């Protein structure tokens, strides 16, 4: 299994690739020569201790930070981001922890906010509702009604809506920042299921998480960050949480 995975990673062009990224904030070197890659239909876990550089790396990919040196490639093409809008335009969507939903609006309105479908200059509610149901069905998201205000939904459902919102824009890469933080057991399960659905859609999914248990449940490959460097890469099939923890903390792990 690990061999077949290895051949695909070597044989295919990564959907998203970062090479030799450096980023400093004053005297702090947040990222040092970091490489990163994500493939289609793959879930990549990005783990590391606080201050390891996960967030800086994600913000670099999403266009919020501009790296000092290093290149970003999408489908082998070099891209340059100066703002989050740039990365959204080429198909990289980020779901931040605060989700950015309007609690007072219903699910349909939230999903289409800023890109409403119109008919005769008026909101085409029927079309938007139809497409919403379609997307939620593909993602296997279960909510009582698409016409309830988002405030009435559970944390897991809200997370799902935030993800579905990005899917409507037909992205190539989805970045999820701590998607299971502050969720209960059942809701975490919902979100993990959602991540698998995204993978099924053929997207490259990047998940930042503190929760190794969740990571091991859905992720194909784990990239460990430590002190601003990429400290290791693990195929989930042939590693153990202990090894990953060792890489995170920098401890020696005897065989």
Partner 1 sequence: MSEQNPDKNKAMGKTGVVEKPLPGLAGTVPSPPSEPLSLKSFLRLDLGFLPVLITLVLITIYFQIASNGFFLDARNLSNLVQQIVSTGILCIAAVMVLLLGEIDLSLAAVAQACAGVTAVLSVYQDWNPWLAILAGLLAGAIIGTANGFFIAYLRVPSFIVTLAGSIGYAGMLLLVLGPQSTLIVRDETIRGLAPNFLDSVVGWLLPILSLALYAGAILYEQQRRDKIGLKTKSVQQLALQIGGATVIVLAITALLQSYLGVPIAGVIWIGLVVFFWLLLTKSTFGRHLYAVGGSAEAARRAGINVTAMKIGIFAIASTLAAFAGIMLASRSTAVASQIDSTLLLRAIAAAVIGGVSLFGGRGSIWAVVLGSLVIGSLENGLTLLNSEQSIKNVVQGAVLLLAVTADALARRANSTRTR
Q: Which of residues 169-198 bind partner 1 (CB under 8 A)?
A: 182, 186, 189-190, 192-193, 196
Tell whether residue 168 is a contact of partner 1 (CB under 8 A): no
Is 141 a binder of partner 1 (CB under 8 A)? yes
- Contact characters 39-78, partner 1, x per CB under 8 A: ----------------------------------------
Give yes or no for residue 107 binding partner 1 (CB under 8 A). no
Binds partner 1 (CB under 8 A): choice among 8, 104, 238, 249 = 104
The least distance separating partner 1 from the CB of residue 11, rounded to whole angstroms, comes to 26
| 136 belongs to the binding site for partner 1 (CB under 8 A) | yes
> Is residue 5 a contact residue for partner 1 (CB under 8 A)?
no
Confirm or reject binding of residue 114 to partner 1 (CB under 8 A): yes
Min CB(136)–partner 1 separation in Å: 6
Q: Is 202 in the site for partner 1 (CB under 8 A)?
A: no
Give per-residue burial for 220-255: e unless 16+ CB within 10 Å, then b: bbbbbbbebbbbbbbebeebeeebbebbbeeeeeee
Binding site for partner 1 (CB under 8 A): 98, 100-105, 109, 113-116, 118, 121-123, 125-126, 129-130, 133, 136-137, 140-146, 149, 151-152, 154-155, 158, 182, 186, 189-190, 192-193, 196, 217
């Amino acid at each position: 299994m690990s061999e077949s995975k290895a051949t695909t990673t070597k044989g295919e062009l990564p959907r998203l690739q970062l090479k030799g990224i450096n980023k400093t904030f004053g005297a702090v070197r947040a990222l040092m020569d970091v490489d990163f890659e994500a493939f289609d239909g793959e879930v990549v876990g990005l783990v590391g201790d606080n201050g390891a550089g996960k967030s800086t790396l994600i913000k670099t990919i999403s266009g919020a930070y501009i790296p000092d040196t290093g290149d970003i490639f999408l489908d082998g093409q070099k891209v340059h981001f100066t703002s989050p809008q740039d990365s959204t335009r080429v198909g990289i969507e980020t779901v931040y922890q605060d989700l950015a939903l309007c609690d007072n609006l219903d699910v349909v309105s939230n999903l289409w906010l800023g890109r409403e479908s119109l008919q005769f200059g008026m909101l085409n509610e029927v079309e938007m509702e139809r497409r919403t149901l379609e997307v939620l069905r593909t993602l296997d998201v279960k909510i009582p009604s698409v016409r309830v205000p988002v405030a009435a939904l559970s944390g897991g459902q809200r997370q799902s809506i935030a993800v579905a919102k990005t899917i409507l824009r037909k992205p190539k890469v989805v970045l999820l920042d701590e998607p299971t933080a502050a969720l209960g057991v059942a809701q975490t399960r919902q979100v993990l299921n959602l991540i698998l659905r995204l993978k099924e859609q053929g997207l490259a999914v990047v998940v930042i998480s503190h929760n190794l248990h969740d990571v091991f449940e859905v992720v194909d490959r784990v990239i460990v960050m430590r002190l601003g460097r990429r400290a290791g890469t693990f195929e989930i099939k042939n590693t153990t949480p202990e090894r990953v923890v060792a890489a995170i903390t920098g401890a020696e792990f005897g065989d």
